[in-house]
Amino acid sequence: MANRPAKPNKVPTNHRKVAVIGSGPAGLSCAGDLAQRGYEVTIFEALHVPGGVLMYGIPEFRLPKALVQKEINNLRQMGVDIQTNMVIGKIYALDELMELGYEAIFIGSGAGLPSFMRIPGENLNGVYSANEFLTRINLMKAYQFPSSDTPVKVGRRVAVVGGGNVAMDAARCAKRLGADEVTIIYRRSEAEMPARIEEVHHAREEGIIFRLLTNPTRILGTDSGWVRAVECVEMELGEADSSGRRRPVVKKGSEFQIEIDTIVIAIGTSPNPLIKSTTPGLETQRWGGIIVDEATMATSKEGVYAGGDAVTGAATVILAMGAGKTAAQAIDDYLNKKHQADG
Ligand SMILES: Cc1cc2nc3c(=O)[nH]c(=O)nc-3n(C[C@H](O)[C@H](O)[C@H](O)COP(=O)(O)OP(=O)(O)OC[C@H]3O[C@@H](n4cnc5c(N)ncnc54)[C@H](O)[C@@H]3O)c2cc1C
């Protein structure tokens, strides 16, 4: 995205239509590169605002939304049509997009399906997935409630479960929304934390409490169904597991409770199965990642390409943008060859 001219021009059309599903960094970079080559690109975005995680996940204090907005405006100036509130797999299936005249499709639908711990109490009020918590804050401006439509309950004491960048963002947002005590609960030690060192550093600087080698076993509620505490066990590190990280093992008799008002679960996400389940012939990994040829990002279905978190699982902005660019090149090659063969 960053290497495009400051004032993008609309390139003369080659009259070939390409559909891009999802407007995160993968979809935006693919759409931009295709528009620069003269393609008529339509982005179909499920949410009411384009930008993907850049808009709904990463907080304003780390990524100003005006920067993302500028990039999206540039794409519109280049002629990219961005249609929001369009859930592909519900409104149109991929085959229907092809019938509408799209000659190729890029799937950049991300990995927005949150994982839960499957412990008792996860359905209590006051339990959020990190995605929901951050979306309420970043996209729906819940901190302005009631002048915004969406509320968010933060409370005085917040627990965030997980040790990645998403957990750090959720914890720092909770602090900014006025929580007195925000505790990160992570089952391994700091050395195994997947979050970047600087994110952990910022969180510590802002007063976030770290309960390491600690694992939640149960969320406890009030009579009216709201969270009141989380029960945890202490862990110690055993032998290395298949990921090379030392496996956390429960310390017998170490149960204890932390009193909380809200708990945010930030233990990972996977691709939403909607597109897979409505697209015959689209092969995926068992965990949901779309299988592609890494050189071209071509999927098992002719004319359909994919990239970003929808392929890799939760990864990075740079990787998603790179995948979008690789796919744009491959789509251009594919359609040029197809049209040459058709004469
Ligand atoms: C809180 C948080 C913080 C992060 N911080 C960083 C960071 O600091 N640095 C970094 O490099 N990475 C970070 N990441 C990861 C990074 O944001 C992702 O790897 C990246 O956004 C993936 O891009 P993507 O385009 O594949 O998917 P996404 O950004 O997830 O975009 C996918 C888009 O597709 C849309 N969509 C989904 N299904 C459909 C459908 N059926 N029809 C139409 N549209 C659909 C979604 O609504 C979404 O807008 C962070 C992630 C999170 C959640």
The Cα–Cα gap between 45 and 42 comes to: 10
| Token reading at 218 | 């149960």
Tell me, what's the pLDDT at 9? 73
Cβ neighbors of 272 (< 8 A, separation 6 or more) are 109, 111, 112, 113, 288
Instruction: Domain ranges for the chain, please list them.
Output: 17-112+269-342, 116-265
CA distances from 273 to 98, 188, 304, 320 (A): 20, 30, 16, 19
Cβ neighbors of 267 (< 8 A, separation 6 or more) are 115, 116, 117, 161, 162
The Cα–Cα gap between 42 and 138 comes to: 25
Ligand 1 atom with least separation from CA of 22: 34
Tell me, what's the pLDDT at 247? 86
| Token reading at 225 | 């169904």
Report whether residue 169 contacts ligand 1, using a CB cutoff of 6 Å: yes
Q: Is residue 72 within a helix (H) or strand (E), and if so which, with residue range?
A: helix 65-77
| Integer Rg of the chain from CA | 22
CA nearest ligand 1 atom 49, residue: 52
The values of phi and psi at residue 212, to 5°, are: -85, 165
| Token reading at 296 | 């071209």
N-term to C-term CA, the chain: 34
Report whether residue 317 contacts ligand 1, using a CB cutoff of 6 Å: yes
DSSP 157: E
* CA 225 to ligand 1 centroid distance, Å: 32
Q: Is residue 327 within a helix (H) or strand (E), and if so which, with residue range?
A: helix 317-342
Cβ neighbors of 114 (< 8 A, separation 6 or more) are 129, 130, 131, 132, 265, 268, 269
Q: For ligand 1, pick from 33, 54, 58, 68 the residue to mutate: most ligand atoms within 8 Å of CB.
A: 58
Tell me, what's the pLDDT at 322? 98
Tell me, what's the pLDDT at 145? 80
CATH code of 116-265, in short, is 3.50.50.60
Q: Are 275 and 284 in contact (CB under 8 A)?
A: no
In 3D, which of 311, 305, 318, 254 has the Cα closest to residue 34? 305
* CA 276 to ligand 1 centroid distance, Å: 18
Residue pLDDT tens, the chain, 343 long: 545 555 677 889 999 999 999 999 999 999 999 999 999 999 999 999 999 999 999 999 999 999 999 999 999 999 999 999 999 999 999 999 999 999 999 999 999 999 999 999 999 999 999 999 999 999 888 777 888 888 788 889 999 999 999 999 999 999 999 999 999 999 999 998 999 999 999 999 999 999 999 999 999 999 999 999 999 999 998 888 887 878 889 999 999 999 999 999 999 999 999 999 999 999 999 999 999 999 999 999 999 999 999 999 999 999 999 999 999 999 999 999 999 888 7
Report whether residue 42 contacts ligand 1, using a CB cutoff of 6 Å: no
Q: Is residue 95 within a helix (H) or strand (E), and if so which, with residue range?
A: helix 94-99
- The topology (CATH level 3) of 17-112+269-342 is FAD/NAD(P)-binding domain (3.50.50)
Report whether residue 108 contacts ligand 1, using a CB cutoff of 6 Å: yes
In this chain, the answer to whether the domains covering 17-112+269-342 and 116-265 adopt an identical fold is yes
pTM: 0.94
CA nearest ligand 1 atom 35, residue: 22
